[in-house]
Amino acid sequence: MNIRIVASFLLLGAMLSFSQCKPEGPDEPTETDADYIGTPYTLTKPGAKWRNIPDMSANPMTVEGIRLGRMLFFDPVLSNDSSISCSTCHEPQHAFTDNKVLSTNIFGPTKRNTPSIQNSVWMKPLFWDGRQNTIEETCTDALLHEQNFNASMAITKLSKRPEYVALFKKAFGRPGDITDVKIEKALSQFIRTALSSKSKFDLSQYGQYTLTASEANGFAIFSSERGDCFHCHTDGPYLTFTDNKFHNNALQEASSVYNFKDKGMGEATPLDTNVYGKFKTPTLRNLAYTAPYFHDGRYATLEQLVNFYSDSLRLSPTVDPLMKKLNIGGLHLNTQEKADLIAFLNTLNDESFVSDTSFTNPFK
Amino acid sequence: MKFINICVVVMLLMVSSCAKKDTTVNLKFDATYRNATLAFSPNTVTDDSANVVKYEELNFLLSNIELVREDNSVAKLADVSYVDFVNTENSGASLFSDVPVGTYKALRFSIGLDSAQNEQDPSEIGDSDPRQKAQYWGWMKYVFMRIEGKAQLANTSGGFNQLLVFHTGTDVLYRTITLNGPIVINEGDNTLQVNFELNKIFFGAKPLDIKLNDESFTHSESTSASYHTAVNISDNLQQAFSIGQ
| A45 lies in some domain | no
Which chain A residues have a beta carbon less than 8 Å from that of B225? none
Q: How many domains does chain A have?
A: 2
Quick check: A225 and B160 CB within 8 A? no
Quick check: A234 and B13 CB within 8 A? no
Quick check: B150 and A236 CB within 8 A? no
Q: How far is A126 from chain B (nearest CA, A)?
A: 19
State the complex-level ipTM.
0.84
- Cα(A233)–Cα(A309) distance, integer angstroms: 14
Quick check: A17 and B18 CB within 8 A? yes
Query: Would you place residue B188 in the very low, low, confident or very high pLDDT band (cuts 50, 70, 90)?
Result: confident
Cβ of residue A322 closer than 8 Å to a chain B Cβ: yes
DSSP class of A57: T
Which chain B residues have a beta carbon less than 8 Å from that of A324? 163, 165, 216-217
Assess whether A184 and A258 both reside in one domain. no
Which chain B residues have a beta carbon less than 8 Å from that of A7? 3, 6-7, 10
Q: How far is A322 from chain B (nearest CA, A)?
A: 6
Q: How far is B95 from chain A (nearest CA, A)?
A: 15
Indicate the residue of A6, A14, A237 with minimum beta-carbon distance to B122. A237
* Interface subset of A 26-65, CB within 8 angstroms of B: 48-49, 51-52
- Cα(A207)–Cα(A210) distance, integer angstroms: 7
Where chain A has pLDDT below 50, the residues are 1, 10-33
Indicate the residue of A6, A230, A326 with minimum beta-carbon distance to B163. A326
Q: How many CB atoms lie within 10 A of CB A161?
A: 14
Q: How many CB atoms lie within 10 A of CB A325?
A: 20
Which SS3 state, helix, strand or coil, does residue B95 take?
Answer: strand
Assess whether A304 and A215 both reside in one domain. yes
Q: How many CB atoms lie within 10 A of CB A237?
A: 17
DSSP code string of A133-198: SSHHHHHHHHHHHHH---HHHHHHHHHT-HHHHHHHHHHH-TT----HHHHHHHHHHHHHT-----
Q: How far is B143 from chain A (nearest CA, A)?
A: 10
Quick check: B123 and A236 CB within 8 A? yes
- Cα(A51)–Cα(A240) distance, integer angstroms: 9
Assess whether A206 and A330 both reside in one domain. yes
Domain limits at A87? 63-195
Assess whether A336 and A279 both reside in one domain. yes
**CA A85 from centre of chain:** 19
Which chain A residues have a beta carbon less than 8 Å from that of B136? 236-237
Which tens digit of pLDDT belongs to each residue from A140-177? 999 999 999 999 999 999 999 999 999 999 998 877 89
Cβ of residue B155 closer than 8 Å to a chain A Cβ: no
Assess whether A80 and A160 both reside in one domain. yes
| A14 lies in some domain | no
In this structure, of A14-23, A57-66, B15-24, B29-38, the range with the lowest mean pLDDT score is A14-23
**Closest by Cα among A253, A218, A234, A227 to A309:** A227
Select from A174, A195, A216 the last residue of a domain.
Answer: A195
Q: Residue A38 has what pLDDT?
A: 82
Q: Residue B90 has what pLDDT?
A: 56
| A21 lies in some domain | no
* Interface subset of B 223-242, CB within 8 angstroms of A: 224
Mutation pick from A17, A249, A332 vs chain B, by most beta carbons of B within 10 Å, is A17
Q: Residue A174 has what pLDDT?
A: 72
Q: Which amino acid is at A186?
A: A
Q: How far is B154 from chain A (nearest CA, A)?
A: 17
Quick check: B138 and A10 CB within 8 A? no
Cβ of residue A19 closer than 8 Å to a chain B Cβ: no
Assess whether A176 and A259 both reside in one domain. no
Assess whether A138 and A210 both reside in one domain. no
| A92 lies in some domain | yes
| A84 lies in some domain | yes
- Cα(A61)–Cα(B33) distance, integer angstroms: 51
Select from A164, A195, A226 the last residue of a domain.
Answer: A195
Assess whether A206 and A347 both reside in one domain. yes
Q: Residue A4 has what pLDDT?
A: 58
Quick check: B136 and A236 CB within 8 A? yes
- Cα(B147)–Cα(B167) distance, integer angstroms: 7
Exposure letters A95-122 (e unless 16+ CB within 10 A, then b): bbbbbbbbbebbeeeeebbbbbbbbbbb
Q: How many CB atoms lie within 10 A of CB B61?
A: 27
Characterise B125 by phi-psi region: left (phi > 0), alpha (psi -120 to 50), beta (else).
Answer: beta
**CA A294 from centre of chain:** 15
Assess whether A213 and A78 both reside in one domain. no
Cβ of residue B176 closer than 8 Å to a chain A Cβ: no
Assess whether A135 and A98 both reside in one domain. yes
Q: Where is pLDDT greater, at A334 or B7?
A: A334
Which tens digit of pLDDT belongs to each residue from B131-177? 999 999 888 899 999 999 999 999 998 789 999 999 999 999 999 99
CATH number, domain containing residue A86: 1.10.760.10
Q: How far is A93 from chain B (nearest CA, A)?
A: 31
Q: Could you tell me which chain B residue has the CA closest to the CA of A232?
A: B137
Select from A175, A195, A215 the last residue of a domain.
Answer: A195
Cβ of residue A230 closer than 8 Å to a chain B Cβ: yes
* Prior bond of B42 cis (ω within 30°): yes
Evaluate the CA torsion angle A95, A101, A102, A108 in order and state its sign: negative
Mean pLDDT of chain B: 89
Q: How far is B132 from chain A (nearest CA, A)?
A: 9
Q: Residue B1 has what pLDDT?
A: 52
Quick check: A237 and B123 CB within 8 A? yes
Q: How far is B221 from chain A (nearest CA, A)?
A: 8
Assess whether A190 and A209 both reside in one domain. no
- Cα(B206)–Cα(B225) distance, integer angstroms: 16
| A362 lies in some domain | no
Q: Residue B91 has what pLDDT?
A: 60
| A150 lies in some domain | yes
Assess whether A213 and A273 both reside in one domain. yes
Mutation pick from A16, A122, A324 vs chain B, by most beta carbons of B within 10 Å, is A324
